[in-house]
Every structure is written in C-alpha cells, then in structure tokens.
Structure 1
Amino acid sequence: MPRKQRSLNQVKEDISFRVLREKLPQEWVVHSYGADYGIDCVVELFDSINNEKKLAETLGENLFIQLKSSDCIEYITRKAYKRGNVAKGGLSEDKNDYVEIQVAKFKLDISDILTVQSMGIAIPVLLVLVDTNSEKAFFVCLNDYIDKVLIPEDPNYASKGSKIIYIPIANEILNQESALIALRAYGKRSKMYGVFSLFNYQLNEIRHMQDMSTISYNMFSKYDAGMIKNFVDIALRQDVWSGHKFWKPMEWSYNELLVVKEELNQGIENEDYQPSLIYCPSQVWHRLNNLSNMYEELVREWFLPTYLAMLTSYPSKNDSSEP
C-alpha cells in the first residue's frame, strides 16, 4: 500500500496560513475552519490593555477570511476610470480621466463569490492572497468588490464559471499600525451597521416627538428632554466610538453627542427648550443618520481597485492615523 501523501496544494495552504499568522499582530487570534465552504478562517481582533503588552482583550470584532495562495501570481497595471456613483445607477465612466493601479490578478470560482454575496454586506469577507514566492499577503473586501466593481462591470457575472479579481498591491498586510487601519475598519463593520439602524430609529422618534410638541408644548417638554438624554446615553455606549479612529465623521458626531449630553446635564431653560428640540433632529441626529449614506458611498469603496479608492483609501505621508 502507498504511504500517506502530501500534495503541493496542501503545502501551499500551510504556507498561506503561516504567512497570514506572521503578518498579523501577535495578540490577534486566527480561528481556522474545518472543511472549506468558502470561509477558511476567522480573525478575531484583540488589543493590549497594559503597557507591557502581556495582556490583551477581545474587541468583539472579527474578519472572515477566504485564504488563497499561488506561486505564479500575475502582477499588472489596471486602469481605473473616473465614474459615477454605482450605488445610484449603472456604470458610467469617463475614459479621459483615470488612475493606474498596480494589482495582483486572481481567478476566483463563482461559487465562492456567490457564497460571499449571500452573506450580505454587514459581515466583512476578505479575500487574502498569499504569494508563496515572496511570502507577501494582499487583501480585498469581497463584499464591497462584488457590489462596487464586479456587478457594475459585469451584471451577468453569476452565469460565468469564474471571475478575475484585481487586488491592489497597496493592500499588503503588514504588522504596522498604519497598514492595519483597513483591517480594523472592516472589523468594526457589523458594529457600524448596528448603530446605523439605531440612529435611524432615534431620529424618527425625535421627529415624531417634535411633531407632537407643536400640539401640546407643556405636556411633552420634560418627556422630550428625558428621551433625548436617554438616546444620547445609548448612542455614547456603542462601541464604535472607542478604539482606533478610522473615519473623521465618526469623531465629529461623537463630539456633538458629548456637547448635547453636557447641555442636558446642565439643564435647559424654558426659553431654550424649543431651539434645543429643533437642533437635535435637524443637526446632531441628521448627521448621525447620514453616516450610513456616507458609509455606503465612500467607505465601502475604500481599498478597492477603483478611481475613488485611490483618492481616499491610503494614508498620506503626513498622516498615518487614518485613510
């Protein structure tokens, strides 16, 4: 009988897991799946909680990984044309305005793509491609790639057997804080969609309260202030504000909530009540609710091989804190 054998694909798979593990912070945990049903592993994000970095706690954030490897990756330059917002309509490109992006090509089975598409957009699934020769690892978010690149460029992609995925080589996974911004941002995605729903609910309730207050001012004034205070406390408890900053609008909204909280704690005089009631929904909660729109149009296009992504995704030389 033949002895147990080990294929080249198994060797490459082991290399890819080792490379991914080495590229991530040591406190992050890589949970490997068993049989391959489209997701190979889940990365759980942790942060150190003492200066000696001897203890870390989970952030409650996870990245789903589709891990691929190759020893013959083709690296090319891809033109990305300026285009209209594909979230609002079909693909419309300006062939006279483009950027050139260095990418790695990888052919992905449609079954893998459809599996990711069926998971929705709230759970980030990253395609991580490991070059087994150079032992470099590159990523692209498949959820976003499907909606922002694949479908606009090929609406009938599902009828194909496979599709070429273009992964920007600028998306190299490195254990450096500036290079981990993207992974941290994706890790917060499910939390982000949770607060988007919360802010929408709160805005609708404040608008309803505002409509009612025009009918009977005295009846609703104390109740209104109490409800807004409760909404502020609930909003500030959300974990999206803490940790590593990756998007300025979140910081601005957080600071606005702190201002509202301080004003409520100091008490609102009768003559200031109505202006305060108008200010909350028209300014603070309007911007909170608009975060979801900006997230869809801007953030979901970060780190893709697109024109807009090249302008907005990567830290400048003078700012290594966020895209």
Structure 2
Amino acid sequence: MTKFQDENQLKGRFGELLAAFAFPPEWVVRPIQYDYGLDLEVEVFHAIPSSDRRQKYQTWGEHSYLQVKTTDNVSFGKYKGSDKETEVLKFLIETTELRLVEAMGASVPVILFVVDRANLQVFYICLNDYISKILTPCNPAWRDQRMVTLYIPVRNQIKVSDKEFDPTSHWGYFARTARRSKIYSAANLTHHYSIELGYALVDLDAGESNPEIFSKAALQFLERANQYAWEIAELDIWRKTDSEWGAMEGFRETLTILHDRILQLKEPLKNLPSRGDEFEQAAFHFLGRVDFMRGVFTSLSTIGRLYEQIGRLERLPGDDPFEM
C-alpha cells in the first residue's frame, strides 16, 4: 500500500530542519523521537584552547529543549510594558502545550521557535520565563482557556546565515539559558549550607562560657564551613564563559572572600585565652567574625533570587533589563 504525507507533516519537518540549521555547527541538535510537545534537544559546546591547528569544542552538560511551530501566516503588533512598547510577533498556541512546560518547572528551559515558512524567518521565546513573568501575572485565568496568544519580541529573530558567537547574540542567550539548572542547583546548595551553619552557630554560642567546649565547637564549625565552601567552589557555574550572566563575577568575588575568611578565622583559635575576661572578649570577637562569614554564605545564596528577579526577564517583551 502506498504511503502518503500531508501538508502539516511537511510544514513540521521544514520548521525543525530550519531550526536545527540555525544553531552554530558545533552545537548538537537532536530530534526527539517520541514527540509529545518537545521537538528538539540542544546541547551547547564551547570552544576550548587546542595545541594543534584544529579548533576543538567541549560539552559541559548544558542542555535546553525546543518546541518548533511552523506557520505561513504571521501577525505583528505591539506589546506595552510599564516603560515602553515592544514590536512583537503574535502567535496563537494551545494551552495544553504551555501547561506541559509549566509542569516541567523553570530549571529545564523550553524555547519556542516560530518558523515563518513564507519568509524563512525564525523567532523565539523561552516559554518557562514567558509563562512565569508575563502570562500568569497578566492573565491568571489562562489555564482555563483553550488557546493563548503569545507576544514574541521581533528582536528575537534569528538570521540563519548569522552564526557569529558573542555574549549579546542569540547564541550567547541560548548558552546562558542552557546553564540555568546549574544556577538553580548552586542557589539551592548555598542556601542549604547557610541554614546549616546557622544551626552550628547555636552550638558555638552554647560553649561561650567554657573555653574547652568553645574551642572544640569553633574548630568543628570551621571544618564544616571549609567543607561547604570547597563543595560550592567545585560547582561548574564558576567556570568563565563568553556568554555568562553579568552578575557571576560578583558572586565569584564573594566566593573568594569566603575562602579568605575561613583562613583568617583559624588564626584566633591558635591563641585563644583559656579563661577569664580575656577569653570572653576573644570568644565574643570570634563569634562576630563567624557571623559575618555566615553572612557571606547567605550572600552567595542570593544568586537564585537575583536570577529570578532579573535573569529570567531577558528576551521577554516589555521591560527587558538586558536590551541593548
């Protein structure tokens, strides 16, 4: 029996091929065999120094997913943010597809590619961010609708012929977005360790009147803080990239302060007075410095909050803080 394919299948395959071709050639774009809302998986590869003449690229385990939609009819309009209007592509999508992305959570980025087949244009938007930062605040009842109109900034248009990589390019944005799960993981770990050190401070306070107990608790506190600091330092988010989120440098400096602070705190323990007012004054001073160090842990843990407030607004319609 003869096999057939219809126009919708042709449109879908065309869009996926154009979307895959749009990415830098060193990135790996894989089709998802069983398609239930996600069409392609993208793995980012980074250029690395090489001893021979051939440029080499390395993966650091950074992935995102694409949902590809192909259309022959595009509609444009304006989206009004709090400060200015944005030129946008208006695209109608089924609510069930958005609910799938919402169910996946924010740490797994899903980027919608809208392919204009008639004009060979590609537009994109991160659906996780759009749902959380635009759709739900503006239309809390969207889940009860059958269809939802998305407003995709026209500036989020990929020129398939332009694959030059720089931090402000589309590829820089995709690379940053693919690192998202690492940022969330770091935020969770640093917050957890900040809380754990708070519990350890209770033991330290309890021994404030007993030099032997205090010295033992202080040493245990520093050993625990040192262990936490090294584990955080080993996270891959501290690796510098050409496309990194601008706030990362400040968090790297905070991590350096943390290591220095732990080393500085070890010195007072070597000459801690054994009794009397001198011990109480030294213990009080030590506790103040320890509390400050825990504050450094807390400062590191704000990476998640800052990313939620600012990082996830990039490339969205309205008031994008990263728009050049």
Place the TM-score, normalised by the shorter chain, in its bin.
0.7 to 0.9
2:225 to 203, 209, 228: 228
Q: Does 1:269 align with 2:270?
A: no
Query: 1:153 maps to what in 2?
Result: 138
C-alpha separation between the residues in 2 aligned to 1:205 and 1:132?
55
C-alpha separation between the residues in 1 aligned to 2:54 and 2:180?
26
- Consecutive unaligned residues of structure 2, counting only runs of 5 or more, are 208-213, 269-281
Query: 1:206 maps to what in 2?
Result: 197
One-letter code aligned to 2:177: Y
Q: Deviations over 1:40-98 (max 9, x none)?
A: 11101111223455432212011111111112111222222x2xxxxxxxxxxxxxxx3
The answer (yes or no) to whether the contact 1:138–1:169 under 8 Å persists in 2 is yes
2:84 to 99, 124, 127: 99
2:315 to 295, 303, 306: 303
Within a 5 Å distance, the mapping from 1:9-24 to structure 2 comes to 9-24=8-23
Query: 1:197 maps to what in 2?
Result: 188
Query: 2:27 maps to what in 1?
Result: 28
1:181 is paired with a residue whose SS is helix
C-alpha separation between the residues in 2 aligned to 1:121 and 1:209?
32
C-alpha separation between the residues in 1 aligned to 2:322 and 2:8?
33
Shift of 1:36: 2.4
C-alpha separation between the residues in 1 aligned to 2:260 and 2:132?
41
2:100 to 94, 104, 115: 115
Number of residue pairs the alignment of both structures matches:
294
C-alpha separation between the residues in 1 aligned to 2:93 and 2:197?
47
Q: Report % sequence identity.
A: 25
1:248 is paired with a residue whose SS is coil
C-alpha separation between the residues in 2 aligned to 1:120 and 1:260?
31
- Consecutive unaligned residues of structure 1, counting only runs of 5 or more, are 83-97, 317-323
Q: Deviations over 1:118-166 (max 9, x none)?
A: 1111111111111223322221111111122112222221221111111
TM-score where L is the length of structure 2: 0.84
1:215 to 206, 212, 215: 206
The answer (yes or no) to whether the contact 1:66–1:127 under 8 Å persists in 2 is yes
**TM-aligned CA distance change 1:24 to 1:243, over 3 Å:** farther
C-alpha separation between the residues in 1 aligned to 2:9 and 2:196?
55
Structure 1 range deviating more: 8-17 or 221-230: 8-17
The answer (yes or no) to whether the contact 1:127–1:140 under 8 Å persists in 2 is yes
The answer (yes or no) to whether the contact 1:66–1:128 under 8 Å persists in 2 is yes
TM-score where L is the length of structure 1: 0.84
C-alpha separation between the residues in 1 aligned to 2:199 and 2:16?
52
Q: Does 1:313 align with 2:298?
A: no
Query: 2:275 maps to what in 1?
Result: none
One-letter code aligned to 2:47: S
RMSD: 2.1
Query: 2:63 maps to what in 1?
Result: 62
C-alpha separation between the residues in 2 aligned to 1:198 and 1:313?
27
One-letter code aligned to 1:18: L
1:214 is paired with a residue whose SS is helix
C-alpha separation between the residues in 1 aligned to 2:261 and 2:322?
36
Shift of 1:249: 2.9
C-alpha separation between the residues in 2 aligned to 1:77 and 1:194?
36
C-alpha separation between the residues in 2 aligned to 1:99 and 1:267?
51
The answer (yes or no) to whether the contact 2:43–2:59 under 8 Å persists in 1 is yes
Shift of 1:112: 0.7
**TM-aligned CA distance change 1:153 to 1:269, over 3 Å:** same
2:247 is paired with a residue whose SS is helix
Q: Does 1:133 align with 2:142?
A: no
The answer (yes or no) to whether the contact 1:19–1:136 under 8 Å persists in 2 is no
C-alpha separation between the residues in 2 aligned to 1:53 and 1:151?
48
One-letter code aligned to 1:68: K
Structure whose alpha-carbon radius of gyration is higher: 2
Within a 5 Å distance, the mapping from 1:38-53 to structure 2 comes to 38-51=37-50, 52=53
Q: Deviations over 1:203-255 (max 9, x none)?
A: 00111222221221322121122111111111110011114253333221212
C-alpha separation between the residues in 2 aligned to 1:102 and 1:236?
42
1:268 is paired with a residue whose SS is helix
2:80 is paired with a residue whose SS is strand
